[in-house]
A = this chain, B = another copy of it.
Amino acid sequence: MRVGVIGGGQLARMMVPAALELGIDIRVLGEAEDVSARLAVSSIGDYRDPGTVTAFARDVDVVTFDHEHVPQTLLRELVAAGITVHPGPDALLFAQDKLLMRERLGSLGLPVPDWARAANTGEVDVFIAEHGGRAVVKTPRGGYDGKGVRVVTSGDEVADWFEQFDALLVEEAVAFTRELAQLVARRPSGEIVAWPVVETVQQNGVCAEVLAPAPRSAGLIADRAEDIATAVAEGLGVTGVLAVELFETADERILINELAMRPHNSGHWSIDGSTTSQFEQHLRAVLDLPLGATGCHAPWSVMVNILGGPADAPLESRYPTALAEQPTVKFHSYGKQSRPGRKVGHVTAIGDDLDEVVYRARAAAASFD
């Protein structure tokens, strides 16, 4: 059972422990020698180069991804050459292009914010005028962690993007009360398993905290989130882990914000909090193995990201204090050079009392400030 992962970031890195436990031979195509997943790097090269990717892919049973950036043409060449790719290009297309995603989710009848395709600043202005003087504009491709997203009151504010893109996605600025994320995993043969819906807390457009399950979500909200993610996974033919980022509104509507077709920051808690982590589940799913149970070890799991500080202070240098103060918290380092604002690790606490679990997780993360 050989799995090849394109991209050597922390998502690939966190697949390695799961692969080792299950006895899966995991290999990574890394961008450089010192990537986060360096222990499993078997070749180094550009994920946009057909020769590099094809040679890498020929040595494994299935190709999967640390990120969504492998070009469609290259993915289709792999499939045409008989290589198994999960998620496949037909599904990944909707994670790569937000305009196509919005169109497809709309045609599936799934709840999305009001949106339009804008071909110029004037069309952005029209949308803004119809939506209370404000809109969210997104580049169709290449955005992540708040990049490629602007909240604007005039089309002029995204004039520069029209130099790179034929069209932009314009959306209503949803007056959400909180953000949720629903993760599911789907096998090629159809089995789908969901984790509980979680609440995600963003700071400066970057995920800061995740509460699992989302407080006050039992019943209607949890059911609706799972139904939506299941419909997306089946409707788009997603294989592996699918993360559906959601808005919850004051009137209990749930709207789809973004999709990711890979393990996702909102699922990191599952390493320590769930019977099956998202990384193990992703590997099981792309190998078309039976999926694992997603029960929780405790009523609450809280994950807090650790963002980098000055480059000369590696995360591990704080362990003598941090580990002593929080012996029950699980610490995760991505083995990355620290840089201000960069995700370099995370912590997870689990327990019976939400306030206490939040306190422990935040205190542990604060050791690295």
Contact = CB atoms under 8 A, between A and B. Distances in A.
A291 to B, nearest CB: 7
Contacts of A275: 328, 330
A23 B314 CA distance: 10
Given A21-B333, A289-B320, A290-B319, 17 more contacts: A14-B20, A16-B39, A17-B18, A20-B335, A21-B271, A22-B331, A23-B316, A23-B345, A39-B39, A289-B319, A289-B323, A290-B324, A290-B327, A291-B323, A292-B323, A292-B327, A293-B328
A356 to B, nearest CB: 14
Interface in A22-47: 22-25, 39-40
Contact of A315 (B23, B316, B327, B332): B23
A315 B290 CA distance: 15
B23 A328 contact: no
Nearest to A322: B290
How many copies the complex holds: the figure is 2
Interface in A256-309: 271, 275-276, 284, 289-293, 295, 297-298
Contact of A333 (B14, B23, B331): B23
Interface of A: 1, 13-14, 16-18, 20-25, 39-40, 271, 275-276, 284, 289-293, 295, 297-298, 314-316, 319-320, 323-324, 327-328, 330-335, 345
A20 B275 CA distance: 19
Contacts of A334: 23
